[in-house]
Amino acid sequence: MTLHPPRQMLADDLEISRVLTGLWQIADIEKDGAELDPEKGADHLEAYLKAGFSTFDMADHYGSAEIISGRLLARHDGQDRPQVFTKWCPEPGPMTADVVRAGVQERLARLGTDCVDLLQFHWWSFGHPAWLDALHEMAKLKDEGLIKALGVTNFDAAHLRLALSDGIPLVSNQVSFSMVDRRALGPLSDLCAEREVRLLGYGTLCGGFLSDRWLGKPEPADITDWSKMKYKRFIDAAGGWDGFQAILKTANSIAQKHNVSLANVATRWVLEQPAVAGVIVGARLGESEHMADNAKLFSFALDEEDTAQLDAAFSQTTPVPGDCGDEYRRPPFLTASGDLSHHLSEMPRAHKAAPAPHRPDATHVLTGSDWEEIAGYCRAHRIGNRILVSGTTAVAWASRAVAPEDAAAQTTFILDKILAALSALGATANDVVRTRIFITDEADVFDISRAHGRVFSDIKPANTLVVVAGLIGDHKVEIEAEALLQNQDQ
């Protein structure tokens, strides 16, 4: 009997296969400059579609994947039409209506369609606040009918909450999720349950490491495959090869019990997590055996004994630090190169420091808030090695209050603004020695404190938190900061 993957409602009028076919391999095939023939590529995707794997996932930088998928779309209409998901991953910079529309229209043109099923947004640095501008513009294009559903990729729980609380109609967040990288089981899954957002898991096989071919094998000394270079960093971050082998040994025992592959067990474990709508498994163009093995995912389920054994194996590893997406935004970068050099030539700063007009030994930063001009102050001021950051509220654009009903989300946005101003003046969060927090409602104290702790729990600056009678506008929290740099010239 041929098994077809079950389907899942991701959004209104958007039903997907629970196993999505990832097309990043196309970029690897084309890395030397020779593009695949679009029609032949579509023929390969047709085989997946006929086997029930009807949902395809790609991005703007996956070579000609969008073009090939567009050829597949052109062959189908009605009930057998595949679902095509893509991603827009712009470099940080101003996200005006024209910039966002151009990025979306390029996706539509390459796909040969007037509406993309799911457009997923990736942003490299939350210190650059234009990411929220981009999502609001994308939401407008969704209302126009250019986007059926809107998602994000590699967002941590704090920033997913911020986007949702600011009114962005997100249905999904695509993140790394595997038996090695279990970060998504934490606050992110809790938030998804609360806000009815679903996770799409990638990296479920750790670039092929989570398979029987690595069971009992020595740790590789030299890796040239980019995918394995990336996921070897995850294995190292999770405690190393010995702990990884404990996971493989346990998963292999469970696989033998259910008469499936070790890779099936690894993928099934992710699929059974409540927040997960589907997993992305990379295509192997022309390999029918790969599709048949993926279909076996739904021939079994993990029982309580299996889960307990896996939990015991997980206890022999170290949790990957941070939250989902941190691997792209702060050290240690868990990428193939160990940095972002193969993604971006440089990381633009959100703000630029300028000489202070009144004294030669000072620099300052302006962020464009109306109040900076009205009241005549700067966001941050540096004299020598000391930096003072003004009281900062969650103001986007010139004067709009972000997430007016969510104090934790406002705190996240404020701290991003503060860290961006510090960065422009040559400082980081590690240089912060004092923060002062003013809140309007004592009931928000734990949410605000946890959001502050997300950034400063390992730094532990001096802190004051007080409840005040009120703040201007729809603001629930305001934060000041002070930083002191050691042994640095201005």
Say whether pLDDT at 81 is over 60: yes
| Mean pLDDT, residues 16-26 taken together | 93
Q: What are the tens digits of pLDDT across the range 226-279? A: 788 899 999 999 999 999 999 999 999 999 999 999 999 999 999 999 999 999
Q: What is the structure's pLDDT at 328?
A: 87
What whole-number distance in Å separates Cα of residue 122 and Cα of residue 203? 16
Describe the chain by its helix, strand, coil percentages, rounded to 5: 40, 20, 40
Q: How far is CA 34 from CA 27, 29, 65, 177, 423, in A?
A: 10, 8, 13, 32, 41
Assigned token pair, 185: 């089981």
Query: Is there a single domain that holds both residue 173 and residue 115?
Result: yes
Assess if residue 337 is contained within a domain: no
Tell me whether strands 362-365 and 380-383 are parallel, antiparallel or unpaired.
Answer: antiparallel
More confident site: 439 or 34: 439
Query: Is there a single domain that holds both residue 110 and residue 218?
Result: yes
Assess if residue 410 is contained within a domain: yes
Query: Is there a single domain that holds both residue 319 and residue 420?
Result: no
Q: What is the structure's pLDDT at 1?
A: 45
| Structural domain ending residue among the three candidates 328, 343, 365 | 328
What whole-number distance in Å separates Cα of residue 79 and Cα of residue 386? 64
Say whether pLDDT at 358 is over 90: no
Contacts of 55 (CB under 8 A, 6+ apart): 16, 17, 19, 20, 21, 82, 83, 84, 85, 278
What whole-number distance in Å separates Cα of residue 418 and Cα of residue 435? 11
| Mean pLDDT, residues 209-233 taken together | 91
Q: What is the structure's pLDDT at 473?
A: 92
Query: Is there a single domain that holds both residue 178 and residue 293?
Result: yes
Between 42-56, 95-109, 325-339, the lowest mean confidence (pLDDT) is in: 325-339
| Structural domain ending residue among the three candidates 328, 362, 386 | 328
Assess if residue 146 is contained within a domain: yes
Query: Is there a single domain that holds both residue 367 and residue 465?
Result: yes
Query: Is there a single domain that holds both residue 300 and residue 373?
Result: no
Question: CATH number, domain at 376?
Answer: 3.30.1330.40
Assess if residue 36 is contained within a domain: yes
Q: What are the tens digits of pLDDT across the range 437-485? A: 999 999 999 999 999 999 999 999 999 999 999 999 999 999 999 999 9
Residue with tokens 């010139």: 398
What whole-number distance in Å separates Cα of residue 147 and Cα of residue 167? 16
Range(s) of the domain holding residue 425: 353-484
What whole-number distance in Å separates Cα of residue 261 and Cα of residue 238? 23
Contacts of 251 (CB under 8 A, 6+ apart): 179, 210, 262, 265, 266, 269, 310, 313
Confidence of residue 490 (pLDDT cuts 50, 70, 90): very low
Tell me whether strands 395-396 and 83-88 are parallel, antiparallel or unpaired.
Answer: unpaired
Query: Is there a single domain that holds both residue 324 and residue 375?
Result: no
What does pLDDT average to over the chain?
Answer: 93
More confident site: 61 or 135: 135
Say whether pLDDT at 339 is over 70: no
Say whether pLDDT at 343 is over 80: no
Assess if residue 274 is contained within a domain: yes
- The 3-state DSSP class for residue 250 equals helix
Query: Is there a single domain that holds both residue 323 and residue 403?
Result: no
Query: Is there a single domain that holds both residue 316 and residue 188?
Result: yes
Helix (H) or strand (E) holding 144: helix 130-144
Assess if residue 346 is contained within a domain: no
More confident site: 196 or 333: 196
Q: What is the structure's pLDDT at 457?
A: 96
For the chain, what is the domain count? 2
Question: CATH number, domain at 97?
Answer: 3.20.20.100
Assess if residue 391 is contained within a domain: yes
Assess if residue 368 is contained within a domain: yes
CB atoms within 10 A of CB 74: 14
DSSP single-letter state for residue 207: G
Query: Is there a single domain that holds both residue 104 and residue 149?
Result: yes
Tell me the percentage of the chain whose pLDDT exceeds 90.
Answer: 81
Q: What is the structure's pLDDT at 462?
A: 99
CB atoms within 10 A of CB 465: 15
Q: What are the tens digits of pLDDT across the range 104-163? A: 999 999 999 999 999 999 999 999 999 999 999 999 999 999 999 999 999 999 999 999
Query: Is there a single domain that holds both residue 240 and residue 383?
Result: no
| Structural domain ending residue among the three candidates 328, 362, 392 | 328
What whole-number distance in Å separates Cα of residue 3 and Cα of residue 18? 13
Assigned token pair, 233: 């960093």
Query: Is there a single domain that holds both residue 129 and residue 198?
Result: yes
Between 44-53, 336-345, 358-367, 461-470, the lowest mean confidence (pLDDT) is in: 336-345
